Chains A and B, each alone.
Chain A
Amino acid sequence: MTRFPPDWLARNRDLVLAQLREHLELTLLTVLIAVAITIPLALLARRLPRLRTPLLALTGTLYTIPSLALFVLLVAVTGLSRTTALIGLVAYSLLILLRNILVALEGVPAEVRDAAVAMGHTPRQLLWRVEAPLALPVALAGVRLATVSTIGLVTVTALIGYGGLGRLFLIGFQRRNGTALLTGFALSLLLAVAADLALARLERRLTPWAEAAPARTGGAT
């Protein structure tokens, strides 16, 4: 028998704001850490092509482990701490980011690279002046995907004591409180959509030369 107490939101404003903040913190930290890890990895894979497959395989394997299981297993090691949540969240972003950054770097047309080398660019200049700018759109698309997926995954950490807005789902579920559930749901949905839109706009702003790309093989990575 689910109730929808209309004043729940007003009475629990602090809780909702605290959970929203937790959600934002976890998401931001996750994406920053994941990017910080992935960029060097991608550059390494670019320098040593042999590493490409193993790296993708490793991050890919992490990705196939169901998120809930990874969090639960981490509890055995790092307890009910925020570290547990972060390790799991970062692990899931790694594949998306790595794959996208690698594809982005490889997507630079060979002719452009050859032309740049012919013009006398050193490998380092090649990377920073030519490849990175051209790879930015696809790489940013990866960051966008990773961010939206992290926002969803943060809610699952409610089962190990965190959850951000996911905690509101749990509260609503356990107390048969529809308002709490809806609030959590709506806010996380809004957050994901807002992040998606904001990052899409950033993508367009930073890469004015990129034409609207023809639909790639779908929303799939």
Chain B
Amino acid sequence: MRLIRKGAHRGRWVALLALVLLVAGCSGGDTAGDDPTETAEEFERGAITVGSTDFSEQEIVASMYAAVLEDAGYDVERRFHLGSREVVLPALEKGDIDLYPEYVGTALEFLNGGKGEATSDTEATTEKLREAFAAKDIAVLEPAEAQDRNGLVVTKETADELDLETVSDLKEHAAELVFGGPPECPQRPLCLQGYERVYELKFKEFRPLDAAGPITWAALEQGDIDVALMFTSQGVIADKGWVLLAEDEELQPAENIVPVVRTDALTDEVEELLNAVSAKLTTEAISGLNRQVDSDGADPAEVAEAWLREEGLLD
């Protein structure tokens, strides 16, 4: 048998093993090109990794950032739909990604442990967010006008049956209603925690589903949940004829979309490019794009790039 004939061949086995281990060792590293010793200047048009959390708006906005950077000559790696903020923020801190889109209010409350510092004043909230992120060597760029807040959604039938228009209207019925949302909702100050505190809503049951994605829509449609946590910029709410309850108390703060970037990946050019995107991004615009993706099934990257071209941000 060819493979194992003489004792001398044993040496070849050892060599083969060593080679295998060597190959494994060499290629077993991250593909994200980040070297923490590089300074911002040396990072000239190098590799940038753009991440996103796990819902379609994130992918659209992240695709915008990725597209303008790539167009300018950066080597962009896209890592989208990585998980909740609880997963993505550590990844940013660690350097597994270099930037992703954030929301000024929720991000601030996430970092300060729910102290309630976020208000509906975009500028003030953004400043506090900058301070909070500065300690982590993460820069907060200019916030866009576009905002996307948490919201509670019910079907039209439920709204008609229980006469629901505002979130406060839920209070007397909550004990019979099943509430569905992302698994991290119960621990978020602007999610279930906030609704329990500010509106005194005590739901019958909490169903952990996904971040206002296909599982939540299916569950709401099929009546497995009565109230869903969704996002105010989701066009699918109107398309399905669902009702977004009006927030009549002070819970949801300003939630402007803003890129957060590791300082060691940030150059003046990167900052300029991303700020240019934020300057044109309005709530109306992002809602329209969300609708194209969620309701019409369009591709987030294509939708993002088409919009960028319309706005003259991409050739």
Q: Check whether chain A touches chain B (CB < 8 angstroms).
A: yes
Which residues of A come within 8 Å of B, CB atoms? 3, 5, 8, 11-12, 25, 29, 32-33, 35-36, 39, 75, 79-83, 86, 124-125, 128-129, 132-133, 159-161, 170-171, 173-177, 206
Least distance between A178 CB and chain B CB atoms (Å) = 10
Complex CA distance for A25 and B28, rounded to whole angstroms:
10
Within 8 A of A (CB), among B242-300: 293, 297, 299-300
Q: A79-B90, A128-B7 are in contact. Are A161 and B56 (CB under 8 A)?
A: no
Q: What are 22 A-to-B residue pairs whose CB atoms are below 8 Å? A: A11-B302, A12-B299, A29-B27, A32-B24, A35-B20, A36-B20, A79-B90, A79-B91, A80-B87, A80-B96, A80-B97, A81-B96, A124-B10, A129-B4, A133-B3, A160-B83, A161-B79, A170-B81, A171-B81, A174-B56, A176-B214, A206-B1
Complex CA distance for A80 and B30, rounded to whole angstroms:
9
Residue among A75, A83, A86, A176 making CB contact with B297, cutoff 8 Å: A176
Residues of A within 8 A of B297 (CB): 3, 5, 175-177
A133/B4 in contact, CB under 8 A: yes
B213 at the interface (CB under 8 A from A): yes
Complex CA distance for A175 and B20, rounded to whole angstroms:
39
A81/B81 in contact, CB under 8 A: no
Residues of A within 8 A of B94 (CB): 79-80
Q: A36-B17, A176-B297 are in contact. Are A83 and B30 (CB under 8 A)?
A: yes
B21/A36 in contact, CB under 8 A: yes
What is the predominant secondary structure among interface residues of chain A facing chain B? helix
In the A-B complex, list the 8 residue pairs whose CB atoms are closest, starting with the nearest: A3-B297, A80-B96, A81-B30, A80-B91, A161-B82, A33-B24, A79-B94, A32-B20
A80/B82 in contact, CB under 8 A: yes
B113 at the interface (CB under 8 A from A): no
Residues of B within 8 A of A176 (CB): 214, 297
B31 at the interface (CB under 8 A from A): yes
- Given A33-B21, A83-B29, 19 more A-B residue pairs with CB atoms under 8 Å apart are A25-B27, A29-B24, A33-B20, A35-B20, A39-B17, A79-B96, A80-B87, A80-B94, A81-B30, A81-B96, A128-B4, A132-B4, A133-B1, A133-B3, A159-B83, A161-B83, A174-B214, A176-B214, A176-B297
